[in-house]
Structure 1
Amino acid sequence: MRIALLAAAAVTVVLVVVGIVVVRHDPGAADPVVAGTTEQVLEHDGRTRSYRVYRPATLLTRAPLVVVLHGGLGTGEQAQRAYGWDARADAGGFVVAYPDGVDRAWNAGGGCCGNPGRTGVDDVGFLTAMIDELARSMPIDRDRIYLTGMSNGAMMAYTMACRTSIAAAVGAVAGTQLGDCPHPSPTSVIHVHGTDDENVRYDGAPGSGVARIDGPSVPELNGFWRAVDDCAPPVSSTDDRVTTMRASCRDGRAVDLVTVAGAGHRWPGAELSPLERLGADRPSDAIDATRLIWDFFAVHHR
């Protein structure tokens, strides 16, 4: 594969800026109850890792957790700002975590991506430790932990599904699966991809531009997870520019593929970035991927 970088015995409050609380963890202590966004750090594998957490004012007694993984060159702050997950959390009463990859990338397997992929950063261990920390400090429902991501973040979500049994469901946008996945845990999957994505191509050919990702085609990846989840044959429907292929699977799981005609390497329905406002490739307005993914997550438990 040819690959390059894609598009926690007390808690001390360190800084409060514009409603954001920054905290450092000491093991054995519970977090303060804070509604809104907190910035947190966690020592893992000799590194100080950072992540943001959004807690709505009204939280379910047993709250789902959605982990949102930014794309290559992105950050947790950028993902929080662009993809609209805080508004979904307000409506649904769940917690959202926005972790930061080392040097703005994730080690998603197969040598991808960037410095984490080249140096073997333990992102699976970091994300597992972060989720455990959040479950100790908040009323997280362990049967409703979800992973979603964009591009390199989507690849990392698939890597977590391949190497852990944490996720009840995965939501991948404009990504693929890299590296070996010999013993995947049965997991519901929804994958959203544009037909005109040149960075992570729909047909699985090597990507051009910033990305040089050479992975399976999107339909091939969908078939892999249908086999993992022991699914019935999928049913396809088309509405304007969006084709949805749904498969019902054993034990109430599902595997969905949402294909967006004409969409490029962007999160459909996302906030426009400064470059996009100046005319760069824009997110498709055919669907709101965040709403679509949350609706899928909401009906699937582990």
Structure 2
Amino acid sequence: MRRKAATTFIGIAAALSVAATAAAEAVPAPAHTFSGSQLAQGQANWDEFVRMATGYAAGAAGTTQGTVQGPGGSSLPDLQQLSSALSGIGPAAQAGGGSNLIGQINGREYLLWVPASYSPARPTPLVVAYSALNNPAEAFREYSKLRESGMGREALIVYPRAIGMSWEGMPTAKTGPGEDIGFVRAITAQLQREYNVDRSRIYATGMSQGGGMAAISACHMSDIFAGVAAVSGAFYAPVNMNCANTPVAFMDIHGMADTVTPYYGGERWGAPILSVQTMFVSYERRNACAGGVDRHPAGPNATRITARGCRKPVEVIQVHGGGHVWFNVPSAADEVWGFLARQRK
């Protein structure tokens, strides 16, 4: 692998528990938006998601012993030591082969997965994968199983580390407008210098608030991204404001019983959440669709809805009875890559 002086890559060699860092969100606010039973179900949905995330973290933790060091051998800050829990020598690396690295640019870090199939002689897709609120990038890397899917065998995957474990455009953001966008632009530019990236096949995905950041990628970085796919996307109003008019392929996998980021919209942290239908219609217009939709089963518990006659595809998978999770049935990892892998600039 070629290296630049401006880039620091270090292999990850530790596995510490991240259960303490994957804290649950509060239930949706204000309370009058939902009934008592909906609030209880919303908390249960989020608790299920946190158990899933931290369960993968705990499963991989303890597989190795060691310390995590930053560039030049310096110790990482405490939060990064905690969130650098998963060394990546767990099931994905063992099953599919590849390398887990840490990259740094402009004072911020990201995780990088390089598949065993990577060759400098062949252009390779790149996927930017955004973590959920209060979830370290390492936890998302584990429970999403993207490395274990076709994506992990065929594409470079970068997991940016969010400041405060939240993204811009969200009411919990610790960054201002444009900061995370600038970070992602810098990452993709750096990786294009370091690797043979197929510039027609750069994609974004993410869970919850990470799905919202994927929508921001389509909205404000359409010059880079050929397609985005959210899972249980948190579509706060700013993620779909003042977007470029360039068509971008869009997908969301969403539980119909999700009361954390409700399918039909709502309010959380005092900020409005757009409905999935609103996002779908906005991309129908943006992608110059002809009108009308097709519906097909997407497994025993889900329906795939696709817009007709679009310059770039627009698709939603409704998971019936599904809550606020990264889905195993249908497989979010497989569905996301199945959709993104077909897209080109």
The bucket for the TM-score relative to the shorter chain is 0.7 to 0.9
User: CA, structure 1 residues 147+21, in 2 after alignment: closer, same or farther (shift >3 Å)?
Assistant: farther
Residue of structure 2 in register with 1:277 after alignment:
none
Q: Aligned letter for 1:295? A: G
Counterpart CA distance in 2 for 1:57 and 1:291 is: 19
* 1:261 equivalenced with 2:320 (yes/no): yes
Alpha-carbon distance in structure 2 between the residues aligned to 1:181 and 1:13: 35
1:185 to 238, 241, 246: 246
Is the partner of 1:114 in helix, strand or coil?
A: coil
For 2:156, the equivalent position in structure 1 comes to 95
Separation (CA, whole Å) in 2 of partners of 1:22 and 1:56: 23
For residues 119-158 of structure 1, the C-alpha deviation after alignment (integer angstroms, 9 at most, x for no partner) is 4460000011001111110111010000001111111111
Contact 2:8–2:104 (Cα < 8 Å) also in 1: no
Match of 1:201 in 2: 262
Same amino acid, percent of matched pairs: 25
Across the two proteins, how many residue pairs are aligned to each other? 259
More helix by share: 2
Aligned equivalent of 1:288: 331
**1:164 touches 1:185 (CA, 8 Å); kept in 2?**
no
Change in 2 beyond 3 A, CA 1:291/1:89: closer
2:198: which partner in 1?
A: 141
Q: Which residue does 1:162 correspond to in 2?
A: 219
Aligned residue identity for 2:303? T
Which residue, out of 104, 112, 116, partners 1:41?
104
- Per the normalisation by structure 1, the TM-score is 0.78
Q: Is the 8 A contact 1:15 1:21 kept in 2?
A: no
One of 187, 193, 197 as aligned partner of 1:130: 187
* Cα offset, 1:243, TM superposition: 1.0
- Aligned-partner SS, 1:116: coil
Distance 2:9 2:221 in 1: 32
For residue 90 of structure 1, report the CA deviation from its aligned partner.
6.8
Deviation at 1:196, TM superposition (A): 1.1
CA distance 1:16–1:294, shift in 2 (3 Å):
closer
CA deviations on 1:33-89 (whole Å, 9 max, x unpaired) are x9410011111xxxx211000001112611000111001001211111110111225
Whole-angstrom CA distance in 2 between matches of 1:177 and 1:183: 17
Report the aligned-residue RMSD: 2.6
| 1:172 aligned residue (230, 246, 260) | 230
Counterpart for residue 340 of structure 2: 297
What TM-score, normalized by structure 2, do the two folds share? 0.69
Q: How big is the shift at 1:190? A: 1.1
Equivalent-residue separation in structure 1 for 2:118 and 2:68 (angstroms): 18
3-state SS, counterpart of residue 72 of structure 1: coil
Contact 1:192 1:260 in 2 (8 A): yes
CA separation of 1:79/1:249 partners in 2, compared to 1, >3 Å: closer, same or farther? Answer: farther
1:154-209: CA deviations, max 9, x gaps? Answer: 111111211122111000111125212343431001111001111111111224xx
Q: Residue type matched to 1:106 in 2?
A: W
Question: Match for residue 283 of structure 1?
Answer: none
Gaps of 5+ in 2: 15-63, 73-96
Deviation at 1:213, TM superposition (A): 4.9
Query: Structure 1 residues 143, 249: CA separation in 2 closer, same or farther (over 3 Å shift)?
Result: farther
1:230 pairs, out of 266, 275, 288, with: 288
Query: Offset at 1:22?
Result: 7.3
The one-letter code of the counterpart of 1:17 is A
Asked if 1 retains the 8 angstrom alpha-carbon contact of 2:265 and 2:273, the reply is yes
Richer in strand (by share): 1
Q: Distance in 2 between matches of 1:161 and 1:104?
A: 21
Q: Which residue, 300, 304, 317 being the options, matches 1:244?
A: 304
Indicate the residue corresponding to 1:215 in structure 2.
273
Contact persistence 2:287–2:310 (CA under 8 A) = yes
Task: Call closer, same or farther: CA 1:265–1:12 in 2, change over 3 Å.
Answer: closer
The DSSP-based 3-state class of the residue aligned with 1:17 is coil
Alignment of 1:33-112 (within 5 A): 35-43=98-106, 48-59=107-118, 61-88=122-149, 92-107=153-168, 109=169, 112=170
Name the CA shift for 1:14/1:235 in 2 (closer, same or farther; >3 Å).
closer
Structure 1: any 5+ residue segments left out of the alignment? 1-7, 26-33, 270-285
Give yes or no for contact 1:51–1:99 (8 Å, CA) kept in 2. Answer: yes
The DSSP-based 3-state class of the residue aligned with 2:148 is: helix
